[in-house]
Amino acid sequence: MKYDQVVATFDPVLGLEVHVELGTKSKMFCGCATLFGAEPNTQVCPVCLGLPGSLPVVNRKAIEYTIAIGLALNCSIAPYSRFARKNYFYPDMPKNFQTSQYDEPICKNGYLDLEVETEDGIKEFRVEIERVHMEEDTGKSLHVGGATGRIHGADYSLLDYNRAGIPLVEIVTKTIEGTGKYAPLVAKAYVKELRDILRSLGVSDVKMEQGSLRCDANVSLRPMGEKKLGTRSETKNVNSLRSVERAVRAEMIRHAGILETGGKVKQETRHFHENTGETTAGRSKEQAEDYRYFQEPDLIPIAPAESWIDEIRKTLPERPSERRKRLQSAWSVPDKEMAAMVNADVLDLVAETVELGADPTKSRGWWLGEIARIANEKEKWAGELPISPVNVKELIDLINAGELTDKLARQVVEGVINGEGSPKEVVALRGFKVVSDDSALMEAIERAIAAQPDVADKVRNGHVPAAGALIGAVMKDTKGQADAAKVRSLLLKHLGQSE
Amino acid sequence: MIRKSANEMAAALASGEVTSVELTKAHFSRIEAVDAKVKAFLHLDTEGALAAASVIDERRKKGEEFPPLAGIPLALKDVLVQEGVPTTCGSKILEGWRPPYDATVVKNLKKNGVIILGKTNMDEFAMGSSTENSAFHPTHNPWDLTRIPGGSGGGSSAAISSFEAPLAIGTDTGGSIRQPAAVTGTVGVKPTYGGVSRYGLVAFSSSLDQAGPCARTVLDAALLHEAIAGHDEKDSTSINAPVPRVVEAARRGDVKGLRIGVIKELQGEGYQAGVLERFQESLDILSGLGAEIVEVTCPSFDYALPAYYLIAPSECSSNLARFDAMRYGLRVGEGSAEEVMNATREAGFGREVKRRIILGTYALSSGYYDAYYGSAQKVRTLIKNDFEKAFGSADVLVSPTAPTTAFKIGEKSDDPLAMYLNDIATIPVNLAGICAISIPSGLANEDSLPAGFQVMAPAMADDRLYNVGAALERELLAKWGKPLLEFAPELA
Amino acid sequence: MSESELDHLSSELDLILSAVARVSEVAKDDIAPTSHPLSLLNVFREDVITPSLTADEALSGAPAKEEGRFKVPQILGEEA
């Protein structure tokens, strides 16, 4: 069924669960380091390994970060909350229960307002947040022996518990209704806005590619006008913003296909595949697993003092949407350009570049222009490319100093992204030099005139536009390193014309 | 030397009459002589103990000052982790496991210079009242080798009462220090919950477990209590307050004007006549010393046993989930991870442990939570309230520690409900989190076997236990003419 | 567990459960449950790094290991 048909027939309902790995120095319940990429099992201790006799102690910073997240999402902070044990068996969980929160989460009932860019213009949606709670991450398993490195068909698995015990915050929305055909965009916008907020709070490095921000998307369809909710599927392994949008869309189409032929959607976990854009079935969730939740007896309840919450509230940075408005006015950016920056997700990069002292319009020009172009080509987003605001500032400085032309600068950008070094290093490596030395330019100009005498005559006779061909020849001759404006002015003067 | 109290041994060490190495060797000799019969120990750390002892001796020679128990040998219940030393918790599933870390209690013992001789036998994962649930072998009561030494800490109490060690550490979840103390004629204390760190204490029931001292005298127990108690930042449930002045209290032993509350529900039917006789006798003695005896009633105690047998299994079903053959311990079986885990747990856990895990899993499952675990938590509130009310009219509360003297090995092992009844007087204390002590009250007339007198005090009032205990102990010693253990049969 | 063990266990459990079901007799709605004997609140630790075990120590009890990781049998996974 085609998407347009799907949304004409059915009403999608979404539920989004986002897990955030907090950027605390130490783990949730012990003092082990949380650095990414350490040698396996070198950041573990009796507590996070779940050795017999070990006991957890709560990381105060993790609570602080969680409260900050709750406040940023307009939640109420529970005056009293506790940890609970979620009991189930899985080798990546050392205790075979996860210390989490159940009926007493630390933050509840918030909301996030979104401005979603659609083909029909900017639409506003409010996503209601059910709860924000704390839990601990699991270890990582490497599946060995199977064809694809995934579980299915593996001979055995190797477990690294460095990640076990890292603080996780789970943010759960209430059902998101009334998005209609914009559902995939709303989902993506929600995760993006959430990510931006988390980044601005400084509580996590929110890198979806590295797993510090994970999204599970719940999708269900019901016939237009129907009040009762349809059966939902839960899609995991959604590792980028683009995947959020694609996964929701794919599930909507898949559900519609089943319902349209009179079938029943199975309540199950699905896995999203980046390469195909499709989902495949995981474990069936016909019976919700019984986690036998009970209050964690090894931990003491949390009752954050009002004064502490107020202190945290004071440290909250401005909301991304407020920041956007402020920057837009500070940089005098038209709406369309602003939206383009937000869409290409380069706003923070531009801001950083401006903060280093570069001109906003020029900064925007590079990030939205050449760099975004290359990013698109490589199917990445600009922030993933190995070029930084520091690089761009250096580039702009070089242009301002007359050491680079725009044309050369574009080549420098390419060089930086290729790993040839900083802009200055690329310039040196590639031997770029803007030829603005008059005598050198004159030599090139003479050569061009000699090669195209008739064009030169045209110019002498007053046909100034014809100079373009000669300027072009000089640029070619100087391998694009000539300062085009200077060439033009010298050439015209030489041929007796004014500019 | 081995028949002395720890306090007396400490004096001998301080005066130079004996060295710690000599003392330690003497105890290992004793163990060699009698443990084939008593079977209190699962592991002996001869090398480690002698090395630690000689370090103490060296430092003492240099004139260093020591805490009271430095150089004194001790037996450690095998439920506490000791770095590099096999820790089994009485279970096959941990056979051979050597922990890479020390329990805080063990750290504190080492800090005090105490010499850990080895690990003692116990009911598997602390579940039981007779030590018959040990996966390895039962322990035998030194008073009568055909009888149980109590449980779950039967190994520790048997070691003390057979003079294999003057001190031991036990753990008490429903009476596992106190009941063994009662049936072996020794002293055992369950400190206030949170008074002693649980870090490194392999968890059975997290909201009830507590490590505590086992000894032959009240003063010895007090000295050990002070050595191991105190706040631990690694245990979120540990109390951040000074340790009650238990040694001072043990030296005082003055009950004049003290109000002693006798709990109506913890006597009468189900209690052996001889046990009740000794209990009454102890009451009379305390009364004679100037204490005021009052009767109190705690009606919710009738529900204590069932509540305990819902809460403890529930918590343990979760605590024992980690034993899955993946990271440590036993691994048997073929096939998938799930199959190997199931095969390992089937082979590695004994019947009582399996029983409690299944019971606990059931009590927590959705649909049953409210009726079982949820209700049990409410009973806990009622019990706490009853204690609070009772402590309004009494400074301490008393009862016989256990309803009977030591029964025969095998006598109750097929009847779980009968076995559970051994804890009827001790369990309410754990549910409320308060403290209690068991002091030998003498021998029951019918069978000449030891009975225990239990004293209970409000949370953080552990010193009251030792005060009353010391007073009673002094009078009883005078009455008997010699320590109770001198009446026990010679083992070697 | 063997058939006979299971039979034995199930009858024991029935007995225990009925004995234990008595608790719901007194557990009225207006009684708050106690999950903790202590009335402590807010026990935290600061966000500082403390020494971890070495990989060898961590793996010291492992029934099987490979390349510094715990080796476990095939996990029947989430994916079909």
CB count within 10 Å of CB B295 equals: 11
Interface contact flag, A156 C46, Cβ < 8 Å: no
Mean per-residue pLDDT, A168-190: 96
CB count within 10 Å of CB A431 equals: 8
- pLDDT band for A284, please (50, 70, 90 cuts): low
Is C70 exposed, middle or buried (CB count within 10 Å of its CB: 0-12, 13-18, 19+)?
Answer: buried
Residue C21 pLDDT greater than 80, yes or no: no
Identify whether B37 is a catalytic site residue. Answer: no
| Rounded-to-integer distance, Cα C16 and Cα B418, Å | 11
Interface partners of chain A (CB pairs < 8 Å, 3 or more) are: B, C
Residue A499 pLDDT greater than 70, yes or no: no
Q: Which residues of C touch B417 (CB under 8 A)?
A: 15-16, 19
Higher pLDDT, C16 or B376: B376
Which of A144, A56, A50 has the alpha carbon at shortest distance from A91? A50
Q: Identify the three-state secondary structure at position B368.
A: coil
DSSP output for A245-283:
HHHHHHHHHHHHHHHHTT-----EEEEE-TTTS-EEEEE
List pLDDT tens digits, range A407-436.
889 999 999 999 888 998 888 888 877 776
Q: pTM for the whole thing?
A: 0.86
Residue among B325, B339, B346 minimizing CB distance to C1: B346
Q: Identify the three-state secondary structure at position B317.
A: helix
Sheet holding C65-66, edge to edge: A140-144, A156-160, C69-73, C65-66
List pLDDT tens digits, range B226-250.
999 999 999 999 999 999 999 999 9
Q: Is the dihedral of CA B137, B142, B144, B147 positive or negative?
A: negative
Which residue is listed with tokens 């000689």?
B54
Buried b / exposed e across A68-106, counting CB within 10 Å, b at 16+?
bbbbbbebebbeebbbbbbbeebbbbbbbbbbbbbebbb
Cα B58 to Cα B1, B12, B21, B46, B362, distances in angstroms? 21, 16, 10, 18, 56
Comparing A218-227, A287-296, A307-316, B286-295, which segment has the lowest mean pLDDT? A287-296
Q: Which residues of A touch B326 (CB under 8 A)?
A: 91, 159
Buried b / exposed e across A138-148, counting CB within 10 Å, b at 16+?
bbbbebbebee
C3: CB partners within 8 A, 6+ apart: none
| Rounded-to-integer distance, Cα B52 and Cα B69, Å | 13
Q: Identify the three-state secondary structure at position B207.
A: coil
Q: What pLDDT does residue C79 have?
A: 45
Interface residue ranges in chain A relative to chain B, Cβ cutoff 8 Å: 46, 49-58, 85, 87, 89, 91, 94-97, 157, 159, 290, 292-294, 297-300
End-to-end CA distance of chain A: 62
Q: Could you tell me the two tokens for A321? A: 């949407």
Higher pLDDT, A479 or B380: B380
List pLDDT tens digits, range A429-452.
888 777 767 888 888 889 889 999
Which of A105, A165, A166, A100 has the alpha carbon at shortest distance from A135? A100
Q: Identify the three-state secondary structure at position C62.
A: coil
Residue among C69, C77, C78 minimizing CB distance to A142: C69
List pLDDT tens digits, range A25-49.
999 999 999 998 899 999 999 999 9
Residue A149 pLDDT greater than 80, yes or no: no
Dihedral (C-alpha) B228, B230, B231, B232: value to the nearest 10 degrees?
-10
Residue A288, min C-alpha distance to chain B (Å): 11
Q: What pLDDT does residue C20 have?
A: 73
Q: What pLDDT does residue B371 have?
A: 81
- pLDDT band for A336, please (50, 70, 90 cuts): confident
Q: Is B268 on the interface with C (CB under 8 A)?
A: no
| Rounded-to-integer distance, Cα A109 and Cα A485, Å | 61
pLDDT, mean over chain C: 81
Q: Of the listed B176, B282, B399, B441, which one is catalytic?
A: B176
Q: Could you tell me the two tokens for B261? A: 């509350």
Residues 26-55 of chain C with CB under 8 A from chain A are: 35-36, 38, 40-55
Which residue is listed with tokens 């790995």?
A21
Residue C77 pLDDT greater than 60, yes or no: no
- pLDDT band for A285, please (50, 70, 90 cuts): low
Q: Is the dihedral of CA A421, A424, A426, A431 positive or negative?
A: negative
Mean per-residue pLDDT, A267-290: 81
Q: Which residues of B touch A292 (CB under 8 A)?
A: 317-318, 361, 364-366, 369
Which residues face A279 on adjacent strands? A272
Buried b / exposed e across A181-201, counting CB within 10 Å, b at 16+?
bbbbbbbbbbbbbbbbbbbbb
Give pLDDT tens digits along chain B (492 positions): 899 999 999 999 999 999 999 999 999 999 999 999 999 999 999 999 999 999 999 999 999 989 999 999 999 999 999 999 999 999 999 999 999 999 999 999 999 999 999 999 999 999 999 999 999 999 999 999 999 999 999 999 999 999 999 999 999 999 999 999 999 999 999 999 999 999 999 999 999 999 999 999 999 999 999 999 999 999 999 999 999 999 999 999 999 999 999 999 998 888 999 999 999 999 999 999 999 999 999 999 999 998 998 899 999 999 999 999 999 999 999 899 999 999 999 999 999 999 999 989 988 887 888 888 888 889 999 999 999 999 999 999 999 999 999 999 999 888 878 888 889 999 999 999 999 999 999 999 999 999 999 999 999 999 999 999 999 999 999 999 999 999 999 998
Residue A51 pLDDT greater than 80, yes or no: yes
Q: Of the listed B5, B20, B130, B152, which one is catalytic?
A: B152
Residue among B236, B375, B384 minimizing CB distance to C43: B236
Q: What pLDDT does residue A395 have?
A: 93
Comparing A136-150, A241-255, B212-226, B419-433, which segment has the lowest mean pLDDT? A136-150
Task: Tell me the three-class secondary structure of A140-165, residue by residue.
Answer: EEEEECCCCCCCCCCCEEEEECCCCC
The residue of chain C nearest to residue B384, with distances taken between CA atoms, is C37
Residues 142-161 of chain A with CB under 8 A from chain C are: 142-143, 150-152, 154-161
Identify whether B365 is a catalytic site residue. Answer: no
